[in-house]
């Protein structure tokens, strides 16, 4: 059978970690996820890694995209990566993060309501 597409595994460096955030500003715990990989298009001085940050809230498991960015000049050890990732997370938390959390909760509640309606018909 001839498939219309090819999926190739990229065996380059990949690092994933997650964090738990609790704050009086939020009723539920916030989960932050970081996926960091070697940038396959690495060419410039500060783009060795590609970092994507996501979050979820409470028992909702759906991850919401927060930001994607390039950083780093060369391969880093885990401790250095964690430090850089935390600094990017802190910058996003200072950037009207509470509004994003409220939008996320509203979206998830609307989806939950819709799914409940579909189940009752």
* Structural domain contains residue 25: yes
Q: pLDDT per residue over 78-111, tens digit each?
A: 999 999 999 999 999 998 999 999 999 999 999 9
Q: Is the pLDDT of residue 36 over 90?
A: yes
Q: pLDDT per residue over 44-70, tens digit each?
A: 778 899 999 999 999 998 999 999 999
The predicted structure's pLDDT at residue 45: 79
The C-alpha atoms of residue 23 and residue 29 are separated, in whole angstroms, by: 8
Q: Is the pLDDT of residue 120 over 70?
A: no
* Structural domain contains residue 40: yes
The C-alpha atoms of residue 89 and residue 77 are separated, in whole angstroms, by: 18
* Structural domain contains residue 46: yes
* Structural domain contains residue 67: yes
Print the domain residue range for 73: 14-115
Place of tokens 């060369």: 74
* Structural domain contains residue 121: no
* Structural domain contains residue 120: no
The predicted structure's pLDDT at residue 39: 86
The predicted structure's pLDDT at residue 9: 79
* Structural domain contains residue 106: yes
The C-alpha atoms of residue 101 and residue 87 are separated, in whole angstroms, by: 19
Total count of domains within the chain: 1
* Structural domain contains residue 62: yes
Q: Is the pLDDT of residue 1 over 70?
A: no
């Amino acid at each position: 059978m001839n498939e219309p597409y090819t999926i190739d595994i990229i065996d380059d460096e990949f690092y994933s970690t997650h964090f738990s955030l609790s704050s009086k500003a939020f009723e539920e715990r916030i989960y932050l996820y970081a996926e960091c990989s070697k940038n396959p298009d690495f060419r410039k001085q500060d783009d060795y890694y590609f970092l994507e940050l996501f979050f979820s809230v409470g028992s909702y498991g759906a991850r919401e995209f927060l930001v994607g960015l390039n950083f780093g000049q060369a391969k880093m050890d885990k401790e250095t990566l964690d430090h850089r990732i935390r600094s990017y997370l802190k910058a996003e938390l200072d950037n009207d993060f509470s509004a994003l959390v409220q939008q996320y909760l509203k979206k998830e509640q609307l989806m939950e309501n819709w799914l409940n309606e579909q189940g009752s018909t």
